Amino acid sequence: MKTILLLLTMSLGYVLPAVAQTKALFVVAGQSNAVGQGNAEQSVRVTGALEYRYQSDSLVALRDPVGENALEFQAANTGSAWPAFAQRYQELTGQQVILVAAARGGSSAHQKAELNELGTWAAEGHKPLLANALEKIHRAEAKVGTPIQGIIWIQGERDANAIFDQQLTAEAYEGALEGLIGRFRNGLGAVVPFYLVLTGNQQGREPIGNTAVRQAQRNVARRLTQVFVVYEQAEHFAKKHWMKDFVHYNQQALNDIGKTVAERIVTLNN
């Protein structure tokens, strides 16, 4: 019957209306590995996905380097996890991914871990970032006409260093992470899902702080509703030769993060 209807409408010169593709608006936030320090030449090429740009209040094709240097946030240098995320999510759901990039290299979760002007996600500091992220998200939601479906969080190395240097306790970091999730949700007026990529290790120093950060992230995910660990393999990247340098992930690692996070989010939502 559908085939007959299609042939009939074509013969009469009519065009059937296209089925609207649903949109999936995601935020990616955190520090340098959320920004992306990979290689755009090795990044996944994705079709149909978009990125919201604050400076021009526009939607552009999602491709690396993802992000923009605005509102204290940064563009990828030069590859990120997000084209791989968008490609896999679209494959699995048929939804169009629209991304809001809000990450800054070196930013901390706790104010005590903030370095100079690198920024913090805490309520106070030299360069608080949360208000800027909320501003960008609200503008993106208005542009797209749909609320965000989740925040993907990659952060923790700065706080891990502060724990290692005994400037911060693991308990304080855990409280800061829980607090920033609450402030994000208060600012958005909804219990938005929060997806955690567990922090990796840093080559050249004992992983005392990094291990403490990962445990804190797991604790928060167990305690808070709609907070999930969606990637746990970053601590093994050095053995896989997936590190760009002592702290940053290479493009192979970023592509794996993007793909795996998409698969995990889809599984959680089914």
Q: Is the pLDDT of residue 19 over 80?
A: no
Residue 9 predicted with pLDDT over 50? no
In a domain, 45, yes or no: yes
Q: Tell me how many domains the chain contains.
A: 1
- Residue 21, pLDDT score: 72
| Percent of the chain with pLDDT strictly greater than 70 | 93
pLDDT digits (tens, 9 = 90+) for 100-140: 999 999 999 999 999 988 999 999 999 999 999 999 999 99
16 within a domain of the structure (yes/no): no
What pLDDT score was predicted for residue 16?
32
Q: How confident is the model over 161-180, as a mean pLDDT? A: 98
User: Is 162 part of any domain?
Assistant: yes
Q: Please indicate, yes or no, if residue 263 is contained in any of the structural domains.
A: yes
CATH of the domain at 169: 3.40.50.1110
pLDDT in tens, 188-197: 999 999 999 9
- Starting at the edge strand found earlier in the chain, the sheet holding 150-154 runs 58-61, 50-53, 96-103, 23-30, 150-154, 194-197, 227-231
Mean pLDDT of 39-64: 98
Q: Which domain holds residue 64?
A: 21-269
If you average pLDDT over residues 246-260, what whole number do you get?
98
Structure tokens at 48: 């149909």
Q: Residue 11 has what pLDDT?
A: 38
Residue 2 reports pLDDT greater than 90? no
139 inside domain: yes
Residue at 13 is within a domain: no
Given a cut of 90, is residue 216 above it in pLDDT? yes
9 in any annotated domain: no
Q: Is residue 140 part of a domain?
A: yes
